[in-house]
Structure 1
Amino acid sequence: MALTRMFSSSLLLAFVATQATAAEIDEIFRTQDTNGDNALSVEEARAAAPADFRAIDRGAKGYISADDIAAWTVSESKSDMAWPAQALAAISKSTLEMWDGNHDGKVTEQEYTEAAVALMLLADTDGDRRVSREELQRFRGEPVKP
């Protein structure tokens, strides 16, 4: 289920396409916090990225295109979400540009992995290169219990 891996794969699309629920965040930690320390590390993000890459790479071409991103965005959106074509194209293009390290118009698995780690680290407010459940909740707009 790509939605539960969305944190490591595409925070940008996660913000646009869905709102994270507490259950989705629980699923992210259940599947990605492989050492059970209640934090997502750079290593865990790197380990999750290949499966996420394959989920987005339609046709298993070995790279992600803007069309792949658009199709994945629609498939991961809530069923009542309608995407205006212009908005979907703009989001897909911007996401591709963000992930495409060498700017050749295609995102390789390596480029995707580096982008996933960089995006994960945006949620790391204390700078320890690990993202706690609370950091992820705040970053994704979920209320955090005191």
Structure 2
Amino acid sequence: MCKGLSSLPSSCLEKAKEMRVKLSHLADAHHKHKVHDGKVFQDMETLLSTKSGLQVFRGFLRSEFSEENLEFWLACEEYRVSPSKTKASSIYGQFINPDAPQEVNLDAETRESLLAVMDSLCADTFDKAQQRIYSLMAKDSFPRFLRSAHCMEAIKSF
């Protein structure tokens, strides 16, 4: 016979309640973030793969004074497709150099490793740095974006 929920330890019941609340929030977020073409602002990859998503996210980052992260990520994408010494120098000068006008937040190790390979460039030269910035946006900026007026307005306009 089933003893019911009362036979479970209270810690299990609390965990179950927490999971139910989290799942409820995820379901609500999923429904709130649908756009006209069936896509959802549910992950960075989807957001960055659409022109409209990119535009809205850029506007949000601009409002938070962190647009340089997206600009760096986009410059790295362009570099990967068409690598050149000129583009690499431009990316380094614009985003990596400690005095760069749009300096991105990279750890010293990543910054130093980039400086070390600037003489022997290849298509994946900026991959590690780009991934760090992508992770930063995905963990920090993107969740705030989903809760922002920018996102809500974009969803309403679609």
User: What TM-score do you get using the length of structure 1 for normalisation?
Assistant: 0.32
Q: By percentage of residues, which structure has more strand? A: 1
TM-score, normalised relative to structure 2: 0.31
Question: Which structure carries more helix by proportion?
Answer: 2
Q: Which has the larger radius of gyration?
A: 2
Of structures 1 and 2, the one with the larger relative CO (CA 8 A, separation 6+) is 1
